[in-house]
Structure 1
Amino acid sequence: MTVESAAAKEATTPEPDIGRSWHVVLPPLCYLAVAVAMVVYTQVVPLDGIESGSLNLTFILRRTWEHIQLVFYSTVLVLAVALPLGVLLTRRALLKATPFVMVLANLGQATPSVGMVVLLAVLFQIGFWTAVAALFAYSLLPTLRNTMVGLEQVDPRLIDAGRGIGMSAAGVLFKVELPMAAPVILSGVRTTLVLNVGTAGIAAFIGAGGLGDLITTGVSTQRNLVLITGCVLIAVLALLIDWLGGLAQRYLAPKGLS
């Protein structure tokens, strides 16, 4: 390799964008710093008996893990239903069923979240999976609707081109339509995640655990520190999951579309 070619290669090699990397990493670090500062504060200030029971580190970590589980299972259920259903409702054979399905999906989100949780608890039983079902019904619409919108916005000429080169209907769907619709679909999934994090706080009303326990305890016992701690931790968790959703939109969407 000549000196000139080596110099040319070095000149054309992109250098890492350190500023951009920090721009990506800084927000979650700030969110985590707020959460850690809140928890540390609760461990060092004088507490009465009720506050000590609700703000000990083991209790907080257990409730945080329960909250994450509620969000995880409800979101997985949404993805398992909304993605294939959204695809089916954009196919010509099922277009007539779309209005009826959308009415049901809108009904789930139009119902107040507390009312949804309590209604399902009355119909079935209190507990973790009832809260998961309520979160699923409440957060189904964004992913379902964005899946349909993303697929409907794909340029028909691209679909015709895929069929013109001999691709099957499944091949066009997985190699043309879904990749083109990915940014819109991922945006819906991101909205579902954030909705679930915030709404999961009401799971405490039916004994499903989560960080909502801190809020209900703080309200019922008039302990502002317990209430504020629960609110801060839920907000931080929502911000962190929204950040992860943003990364997914950026890196999972096909290049040139995100």
Structure 2
Amino acid sequence: MDTLVFVWNNAASIGHMLVDHVLLVLAGVGCAIVTGVALGIVITLNERLARVVLYTAAMLMTIPSIALFGLLIPVLSLIGQGIGFLPAAIALFLYSQLPILRNTYAAIRNLDPALREAALGMGMTPWQRLYRVEMPIAVPIIMAGVRMAVVMNIGIAAIATYIGAGGLGRLISRGLSQSDPRQLVAGAVIVALLAILADLGLATLQWRLTPQGMRPRRARFLWRRGAPFTSTAVQSAEAR
């Protein structure tokens, strides 16, 4: 009850933290979608390049977030942006690469060869085949990677408060420093709810972007995040 009263009395400031948190995640993941999808398509053309890129992205995921923030601070200090929004957004951008890259690569590489041959027989150019055949089928799998990146980075963005990026992590850090369980619980619960709502919203978008012939039942799809699309396509790509 004390936590609810605290949230009610501080709704305006918590609202500002929530907006900052969402903008930070949107900036990091939004840029990662553009580069990750493009690079994921490119590496389908070269198996050796694909291994290098995917291994590099996997190595970035193993770096603890605090350590990555610490590595970015001296580099960005050269341009006067050592702390704050920019290093946090860059860190989230880097952490988003692996799920988006891997899902894009898996979706394009494991497309039925018969579909490519049919598109070629219809006289489509490589760009037309990519735009009209490959991408519509790959979009659901790519969106599953985007969902993973968003949910993961909503949690990581809370740690970015320690480098002055703001967001909901301020509630958690202040709760720890002031031994105030109200702020600690409020921050943790709001971050968790934000992740759940983002996942459900993106699940709906993923379902709508899926071609009608490939759509699963909606209720089952929403509650089993990524389940319809983490099948043999992703598994075979990981095996590589």
Shorter-chain TM range is: 0.7 to 0.9
Q: Which of the residues 80, 83, 91 maps onto 2:34?
A: 80
Hey, what does 2:60 align to over in structure 1? 108
Say whether the 8 Å CA contact 1:153–1:181 is kept in structure 2. no
Hey, what does 1:42 align to over in structure 2? 6
Hey, what does 1:99 align to over in structure 2? 51
Q: What secondary structure, in the 3-state scheme, does the structure 1 residue paired with 2:213 have?
A: coil
Q: What secondary structure, in the 3-state scheme, does the structure 1 residue paired with 2:212 have?
A: coil
**Aligned-pair CA distance for 1:56:** 2.0
Query: For the residues of structure 2 that align with 1:118 and 1:228, how far apart are their CA atoms?
Result: 27
Q: Which amino acid aligns with 1:74?
A: G
Say whether the 8 Å CA contact 2:83–2:163 is kept in structure 1. yes
**Aligned-pair CA distance for 1:254:** 1.1
| Equivalent residues, number | 210
Deviations 1:91-137 (A, max 9, x none): 2xx33211211122112111112211222123320110110001111
**Aligned-pair CA distance for 1:38:** 8.7
**Aligned-pair CA distance for 1:58:** 2.2
For 1:4-83, list aligned pairs within 5 A.
Answer: 40-42=4-6, 56-83=10-37
Q: What secondary structure, in the 3-state scheme, does the structure 1 residue paired with 2:143 have?
A: helix
Hey, what does 2:142 align to over in structure 1? 185
**Aligned-pair CA distance for 1:181:** 1.3
Query: For the residues of structure 1 that align with 2:4 and 2:175, how far apart are their CA atoms?
Result: 18
Q: What secondary structure, in the 3-state scheme, does the structure 2 residue paired with 1:256 have?
A: helix
Structure 1 pair 227/148, CA: closer, same or farther in 2 (3 Å)? same
Structure 1 pair 151/56, CA: closer, same or farther in 2 (3 Å)? same
Say whether the 8 Å CA contact 2:2–2:182 is kept in structure 1. no
Hey, what does 1:164 align to over in structure 2? 121
Say whether the 8 Å CA contact 2:44–2:109 is kept in structure 1. yes
Deviations 1:219-242 (A, max 9, x none): 111111110000011001000000
Q: What secondary structure, in the 3-state scheme, does the structure 1 residue paired with 2:22 have?
A: helix
Say whether the 8 Å CA contact 1:78–1:136 is kept in structure 2. yes
Q: What secondary structure, in the 3-state scheme, does the structure 2 residue paired with 1:209 have?
A: coil
Q: What secondary structure, in the 3-state scheme, does the structure 1 residue paired with 2:83 have?
A: coil
Structure 1 pair 250/43, CA: closer, same or farther in 2 (3 Å)? closer
Query: For the residues of structure 1 that align with 2:2 and 2:196, how far apart are their CA atoms?
Result: 15
Hey, what does 1:227 align to over in structure 2? 184
Q: Which amino acid aligns with 2:182?
A: L
Give the 4+ runs in structure 1 shifted more than 6 A: none
**Aligned-pair CA distance for 1:139:** 1.8
Query: For the residues of structure 2 that align with 1:43 and 1:71, how far apart are their CA atoms?
Result: 22
Q: Which amino acid aligns with 1:41?
A: V
Query: For the residues of structure 2 that align with 1:38 and 1:193, how far apart are their CA atoms?
Result: 30
Query: For the residues of structure 1 that align with 2:167 and 2:142, how far apart are their CA atoms?
Result: 28
Hey, what does 2:161 align to over in structure 1? 204
Say whether the 8 Å CA contact 2:3–2:183 is kept in structure 1. no
Identity %: 36
Query: For the residues of structure 1 that align with 2:205 and 2:176, how far apart are their CA atoms?
Result: 36
Say whether the 8 Å CA contact 1:38–1:229 is kept in structure 2. no
Q: Which of the residues 65, 70, 74 maps onto 1:122?
A: 74
Query: For the residues of structure 1 that align with 2:157 and 2:146, how far apart are their CA atoms?
Result: 16
Q: Which amino acid aligns with 1:71?
A: V
Q: Verify: 1:253 aligned to 2:210, yes or no.
A: yes
